[in-house]
Structure 1
Amino acid sequence: MPQPPLRVFLALGLGAAGLVATLVLALVASRVASERLEARIEAELGDLAATMAGRLDRGLFERWRDMVILAENDTIRDPAAPVERKRRALRRAQETYPDYAIIGMIDADGWVAATSTGALEGIDVAHRDYFTKGRHGPFVGDVHDALLLASLKPDRDTTEPPRVLDIAAPVRDDAGRFVGVVSGHLDWAWARAAEASLRESAAGQRDLTPLVLARDGTVLLGPDSLRRTGLPAELPSVAAARAGHSGTATETWPDGKRYLTGYRPTRGYRDFPGLGWTVLVRQDAGTAFASVADLRRQILLWGLVVATVAAGIGWFAAGLLARPLRRLAVAAAALGRGEPAAVPASAVREAQAISHALTAAADTLKRQEEERRAADDRQELLIHELNHRVKNTLATVQSMARQTARSAASLDDFTGSFEARLLAMSQTHNVLTANHWESAGLRGILSAELDPYAGGRADRIRLDGPPISLAPAVALPLGMAIHELATNAAKYGALSVETGQVAVEWGVEWQAGTGMLSLRWRETGGPTVAPPARTGFGTRLIRTSLERELDGEVRLDYAAAGLACEIAVPLAARTEAA
């Protein structure tokens, strides 16, 4: 299958990168702009709900104040004033405030003494809330059906009774005696006027539906399908408004549709405490956020246009880069075959740099071949060195096994001693391997052997000396010697009891450019020491590995207070030591 040319790869890559970057930017811009627009739309709907709630509160306050002012009318307050005069005062009040269906004066016993229309006079209303509560102070009752008013107009267009709010205030004479109550029945059409005013102020927004809910959740004002019914209390907007909050919510209503709903509880105005209504202004979510969706489409459309232009620019730029690279590839292939090649010049700086590099490559081929041969020689030398070290290690293990077997009392004794010595050798190998078999730190070798005996106590093992790097030929025998000293201390010496301590001190003396390592091992706090009756394998191993192999010196002092061992070895092992 033929591979596509570089220009296709570059054009697709640059075009895809431009497309992705542009689309990401477009999506981010769309998200930010959409969120801001949605926030503005939600705020506007919340403001509409607040506006209508304020109008209702202020309107009821004004009607409440109408009754308070009317109760101060001299004619109304005068018990001796003729009924006709009181009727005229009530009629003038209704003409001034036409939102009232009827205004009446109720005497102190609860009988309707006079009304603005002359109707309902002589009726006993002593049991009505507007009388029982209005006699004690200004009163506003919630919306209800006015059955008495319906009976006055049997020719009304609808069979439903008119809906009114009862507003009342007590009437007292000059002496402060209670003489009655003035009461006005405010037609609910007053609230529909507030709704119409709200729609006018939001003429630019479609499908707005204001709703007014009573304290118990009954819909007082709203669509016919919801009127006189109750909305679910768990509806987010209703629940939030009942909790005293204001704002907006996108929610699913009982009709299954999604609406953006602004909500605001009524809070009264000045002295008027309010009726605990909730005002909702809802709008179909699709209609409310139509401008947001349109904005997103426009941003994405322009993003696609910009991305397409970016892909075209990428195709053109890829062609400028691919042509000189193609010529450079031909020249590089010729150099790879060892043939002379004319490296073309290029107007692209990077391609020109490649041209210079190819020219220099022809001059370095010979030098690289020489370096390769030298590397082969070094590798062969390393292989011989590795073979040599492996043989030495195997010889050491063989000798160690033979000597351990001679001094072992049983097979278990041989197995334990031999494994411990192999482990000591492997620990030194680990330290050397970590340093690529170039050197090993003396402190690291000592720590690897002695740390297991410290038991978590800092005073049990003390190491004191300068940093020293040992060659592998010195590190391995010295590590075995330290292991034997540590094993002997753990079995018979200071490390066999809790109070014992081991101190290792070392230093280097330089003579004629050659360093001599001096190491002192000293045990204290252990059992009383006595010279051994015979020389064990451990002692022979120490002397063999240090004195014979390294041309060093070992002195053992079996003092009663604790064993002391002084070791002196040259830092550069003899060439024949291996």
Structure 2
Amino acid sequence: MPSAALAARTRIAPLPQPPLRVFLALGLGTAGLVATLVLALVASRVASDRLEARIEAELGDLARTMAGRLDRGLFERWRDMVILAENDTIRDPAVPVERKRRVLRRAQETYPDYAIIGLIDANGRVAATSTSALEGIDVAHRDYFTRGRDGPFVGDVHDALLLATLKPNRDPADLPRVLDIAAPVRDDDGHLVGVVSGHLDWAWSRAAEASLRESAAGQRDLTPLVVARDGTVLLGPEHLRRTGLPADLPADLPSIAAARAGRSGTAAEIWPDGRRYLTGYRPSRGYRDFPGLGWTVLVRQDAGTAFAAVSDLRRQILLWGLVVATVAAGIGWFAAGLLARPLRRLAIAASALGRGEPAAIPASAVREAQAISHALTSAADALRRQEAERRAADARQELLIHELNHRVKNTLATVQSMARQTARSAASLADFTGSFEARLLAMSQTHNVLTANHWEGAGLRGILSAELEPYAAGRADRIRLDGPPVSLTPAVALPLGMAIHELATNAAKYGALSVETGQVAVEWRVAWQAGSETLSLRWRESGGPAVVPPARTGFGTRLIRTSLERELAGEVRLDYAAGGLACLIAVPLAARTQAA
């Protein structure tokens, strides 16, 4: 007995066994923590790589965009000189110098970034300029003359030494920089009569730089650079400009070397200043017929600034990964309690049954059905939203179809009425065909003007020019248009365009436009009448045959009155004065906006 008691006292008590909830909580929490951290690291790496690729692509796109804008801009100026060289006033040696000077001045006013535009005679002497300066000097040795005689020419950026002589006290370090653009001027027989040359102020490039910065809003420390074929920095930081490639911009820099090899893209590179930059590069390749000048366009940004968003993204993903992992561990503890509670209740009931005591078997809730219900509810909500969006899209499509049908029916009704009325007044099939085709062409010209403005309106001057330009015969004084910018709604533009066509056709057959000395003046203004804006347009003919009032009202007159008085509630007055027909048209403008 003493030995048994001693053994009982010295027996080691068993360690308490932890409950099931602890095992489940530890297992679920650890698994959730590890899985969340791994996913956070993977997501951080994938998202960072994609964001870096997007940032690099955006910088490359900026370089490509700027190179494209420079090439297209030079192509337009190159085309300016080609068009100017075809001007009849410029080509005719007999035209006085003052008239040539006016043409050059208008060309410079159209695009004021030209420092000067000049006409050089076949001997290399400046005959006329847009500013009247430098006339009479000999430029036969200049590239823009020697090479411009053979075809369109664009020279690279250089100091404008001749223009600098106009301001003798100018700081030598502040010489104007220009690009020379030239084109040959030839007479009708193809003989060279001179060269037109425009000197484009290099400050023009600042517009492309400003546009680049505007399109890259939100990106800091962007530095665009343009490097000429000979290594001169044309655009960039002040300390680099007007120099060849200095020590801090070597020609073997990966971005410059790749661009000169004809490639485009983005490079992360260490510059000689020791800083790492992300550089987008693109060689200029010209545009359409313009071959380009072999420039290299760079858009540089400090790599730390460029990839700041990547670092922030990584930190945020890791931080949220830790937060989610902690929450997952808590959820695991709670879920372990939900799993262990029914088991514990069953264990208590089983223990009571084992002791022979009565026990109630607890029921358990089936949560899978509830989860499926939630999923189906979410899916049903998504389907209802999609159905609502589909119905809205169908309604928009139906509205567009109705609008299209309405416009087509109106157009067909107009064409049908035009055909019927033309047939009544036509003397023969050929007469009907000519008149009907002319009226259809007039309608199509107005439609073209409206289509160019997305059927939101059409400028009155554009409609008048489209109808009357064929009758000008190349003379600026034959047709005169005078009035403020006015935009017409399609409902007003179509009838008014047809009316102008009828007046022009009548003038070409019987009136002022039927003789060489005839002239037509169209004047208009907009004023308030009866509480709304009204367009008042006056058509006057002069210099033509004597006007005799018609014995009967023709289809053209009926068309004008029908389209303007009936359709637009306007007013038309015709005055058959002996000196020339005059027509006064007053049309209310239901919805008027200023033309661009």
TM-score (norm 1): 0.52
Whether 1:222 aligns to 2:258 is no
**1:99 Cα shift?**
1.0
Whether 1:256 aligns to 2:274 is yes
**1:494-533 Cα distance to aligned partner (Å, 9 max, x none):** xxxxxxxxxxxxxxxxxxxxxxxxxxxxxxxxxxxxxxxx
Whether 1:147 aligns to 2:165 is no
**1:26 Cα shift?**
0.3
Counterparts of 1:52 and 1:73 in 2: how far apart (Å)?
A: 32
Amino acid at match of 2:283: P
Instruction: Give the corresponding residue for 2:327.
Output: 309
Counterparts of 1:113 and 1:161 in 2: how far apart (Å)?
A: 25
RMSD: 3.4
Q: Secondary structure at the match of 1:159?
A: helix
Map of 1:344-383 to 2, 5 A cutoff? none
Q: For 2:87, which of 73, 82, 86 is the aligned residue?
A: 73
Amino acid at match of 1:144: H
Instruction: Give the corresponding residue for 1:296.
Output: 314
Instruction: Give the corresponding residue for 1:125.
Output: 139
| Bigger radius of gyration among the two | 1
Whether 1:99 aligns to 2:113 is yes
Map of 1:284-433 to 2, 5 A cutoff? 284-312=302-330
Amino acid at match of 1:253: W
Q: Secondary structure at the match of 2:282?
A: strand
Counterparts of 2:17 and 2:264 in 1: how far apart (Å)?
A: 64
Instruction: Give the corresponding residue for 1:517.
Output: none
**1:39 Cα shift?**
1.8
Whether 1:195 aligns to 2:209 is yes
**1:84 Cα shift?**
2.1
**1:115 Cα shift?**
1.2
Instruction: Give the corresponding residue for 2:52.
Output: 38
Counterparts of 1:78 and 1:144 in 2: how far apart (Å)?
A: 32
**1:157 Cα shift?**
7.5
Q: Secondary structure at the match of 1:259?
A: strand
Whether 1:266 aligns to 2:284 is yes
**1:239-265 Cα distance to aligned partner (Å, 9 max, x none):** 221121111111122322222221111
Q: For 1:242, which of 260, 271, 281 is the aligned residue?
A: 260
Counterparts of 2:87 and 2:159 in 1: how far apart (Å)?
A: 29
**1:201 Cα shift?**
1.8
Counterparts of 2:110 and 2:272 in 1: how far apart (Å)?
A: 42
Q: For 1:182, which of 183, 196, 210 is the aligned residue?
A: 196
- Structure 1 residues 213 and 15, CA, compared in 2 at 3 Å: closer, same or farther? same
Q: Secondary structure at the match of 2:226?
A: strand
Counterparts of 2:184 and 2:336 in 1: how far apart (Å)?
A: 92
- Structure 1 residues 181 and 5, CA, compared in 2 at 3 Å: closer, same or farther? farther
Counterparts of 2:222 and 2:125 in 1: how far apart (Å)?
A: 45
**1:187 Cα shift?**
0.3
Gaps of 5+ in 1: 323-341, 343-578
- Structure 1 residues 136 and 36, CA, compared in 2 at 3 Å: closer, same or farther? same
Instruction: Give the corresponding residue for 2:577.
Output: none
Q: Secondary structure at the match of 1:183?
A: strand
- Structure 1 residues 241 and 50, CA, compared in 2 at 3 Å: closer, same or farther? same
Counterparts of 1:88 and 1:315 in 2: how far apart (Å)?
A: 89
Q: Secondary structure at the match of 1:51?
A: helix
Counterparts of 2:329 and 2:100 in 1: how far apart (Å)?
A: 88
Instruction: Give the corresponding residue for 2:424.
Output: none
**1:203-224 Cα distance to aligned partner (Å, 9 max, x none):** 2222222111111232111111
Q: Secondary structure at the match of 1:220?
A: strand
Deviates more, 1:245-254 or 1:297-306: 245-254
Whether 1:54 aligns to 2:68 is yes
Q: Secondary structure at the match of 2:94?
A: coil
Amino acid at match of 1:55: R
**1:39-88 Cα distance to aligned partner (Å, 9 max, x none):** 22222222211111111111111100111111112222122332222222
Whether 1:210 aligns to 2:228 is no
TM-score (norm 2): 0.50
**1:181-219 Cα distance to aligned partner (Å, 9 max, x none):** 111110001111111112112222222221111112321
**1:234 Cα shift?**
2.1
Gaps of 5+ in 2: 1-14, 341-354, 356-596
**1:430-489 Cα distance to aligned partner (Å, 9 max, x none):** xxxxxxxxxxxxxxxxxxxxxxxxxxxxxxxxxxxxxxxxxxxxxxxxxxxxxxxxxxxx
Q: Secondary structure at the match of 1:164?
A: strand
Amino acid at match of 1:258: R
Counterparts of 1:283 and 1:74 in 2: how far apart (Å)?
A: 50
- Structure 1 residues 5 and 282, CA, compared in 2 at 3 Å: closer, same or farther? farther
Instruction: Give the corresponding residue for 2:6.
Output: none
User: How many residues end up aligned between the 2 structures?
Assistant: 330
Whether 1:27 aligns to 2:41 is yes
**1:29 Cα shift?**
0.6
Q: Secondary structure at the match of 2:165?
A: helix
Q: Secondary structure at the match of 1:70?
A: helix
